[in-house]
Amino acid sequence: METLLEVKDLKTYFYTTKGVVKAVDGVSFSLGKGEVMGLAGESGCGKSTTAYSLIRLVPPPGKIVGGKIIFEGKNILELSDEDFRKKYRWKKISMIFQGAMNALNPVYTIGDQLAEVFMLHEGLTKTEAMSKVYELLEMVGIDPKRARSYPHELSGGMKQRVMIAMALALNPPLVIADEPTTALDVVVQAQIMNLLKKLQREKNVSIILITHDLSLIAEIADKVAIMYAGKVVEYGTAEQIYLNPQHPYTQALLRSIPRLRGEISKLEWIPGTPPDLIAPPPGCRFAPRCKFRMDICTKEEPPTIEVEPGHIVSCWLHAKK
């Protein structure tokens, strides 16, 4: 499969008055064309910051301070801001922001808001743009007549469809969806997941789906990256991660998914809290909460080990003795 995106040792820090928050601290993964990657981990582990880095919109006081983001063979961190804005953002890499459906402008119809994307980026006239808007709405399962609706006239699920339409407007090869279903009920969640799956199949778009909910990722992801405290601790195909998880953190996360079928297993949560990213603990950042902790875990950073082809784990348990 053709590689679309390769992230290598990405580091994005926030320079706050309290200290340097190492929100993304050496993240690596790769994504093929048309693949869906799930990015999961507890709140505050750096998922959104990773996404903002990919689209080069890290808010101040944040800065990308290291690594490479190779997109279609080119390190996009080397492009000037202007080049990136003109040629990449929205055209090649777009994003559905966390909580964005509530950021639609209340005083304009959704049709006008969508049309603006085409007028601004492709220089279309209003009439030309509107015909594209109808197509887009149809594609995301909204009756084109709703173009005349204002955001408050739409349900949460429909507003999220509008955000998806906006992200797909310019046909980007990569769409990042940051918690696209968090505020929605389970039925609408499933519909949005089905829509993303359909778009991936029909348009061969690659998707990075960010969520803390591993059961959502299971439905559509080809690849899964598990983040903990600014690092990817395990990465592999969905099959490898769900059927053969190797990192104690991944194992604990998977045990915390409620099961609807099969025997009722006791829901387990991981005791303790994620570390402070200004002064993370030495060694493995998960060590303080890990029940398999060894001496070395609290002293030295764990090596990154390929336990089977394409399945990568950062954990001392897998180091050759």
Ligand X SMILES: Nc1ncnc2c1ncn2[C@@H]1O[C@H](COP(=O)(O)OP(=O)(O)OP(=O)(O)O)[C@@H](O)[C@H]1O
Chain residues that interact with ligand X, rule: CB under 6 A: 14, 16, 21, 23, 41, 43-49, 59, 61-62, 98, 212, 277
**Other beta carbons less than 10 A from residue 240's beta carbon:** 21
23 binds, among Mg ion, ligand X, none (CB under 5 to 8 A by kind): ligand X
Q: Measured at the alpha carbon of residue 175, what is the angle toward residues 174 and 177, in degrees to the nearest 5?
A: 150
We find the least distance from the C-beta atom of residue 72 to Mg ion, in angstroms, to be 26
Closest CB to ligand X among 40 and 315?
Answer: 40
The CA-atom distances, in angstroms, between 181 and each of 35, 140, 151, 225, 310 are 19, 15, 17, 19, 29
Candidates 127, 282, 135, 281; CA nearest to 119 is 127
| Minimum gap (Å) between residue 278 Cβ and Mg ion | 18
- The vertex-200 CA angle with 98 and 213, nearest 5°, equals 40
Nearest distance in Å: CB 258, ligand X: 19
Which does residue 228 bind out of Mg ion, ligand X, none, counting CB within 5 to 8 angstroms by kind?
Answer: none
- In the bound state, the residue with its beta carbon closest to Mg ion is 48
Residues that bind Mg ion (CB under 5 A): 47-48, 98
Minimum CB–partner distance for residue 192 and Mg ion (Å): 17
First to last CA, the chain: 35
Nearer to ligand X, 212 or 293 (CB): 212
Instruction: Report how far residue 258's alpha carbon sits from residue 38's, in angstroms, rounded to the nearest whole number.
Output: 19
Among 39, 12, 1, 3, residue whose Cα is nearest residue 221: 39
With CB under 5 to 8 Å by kind, the binding choice for 59 among ligand X, Mg ion, none is ligand X
Residue 96 touches which member of Mg ion, ligand X, none, C-beta under 5-8 Å by kind = none
Q: Least CB distance from residue 130 to Mg ion, whole Å?
A: 34
Q: Which tokens belong to 229? A: 């405290």
Q: Which does 125 bind (CB under 5 to 8 A by kind): ligand X, Mg ion, none?
A: none
Give the residue from 26, 20, 6, 17 showing the smallest Cα distance to 63. 20
Q: Which is nearer to ligand X, 16 or 171 (CB)?
A: 16
Residue closer to ligand X by CB (options 58, 158) is 58
Of 60 and 262, CB closest to Mg ion: 60
Nearer Cβ to Mg ion (44/144):
44
Task: Identify whether the C-beta of residue 176 lies closer than 8 Å to the C-beta of residue 54.
Answer: yes
- CA–chain centroid gap for 50, Å, is 8
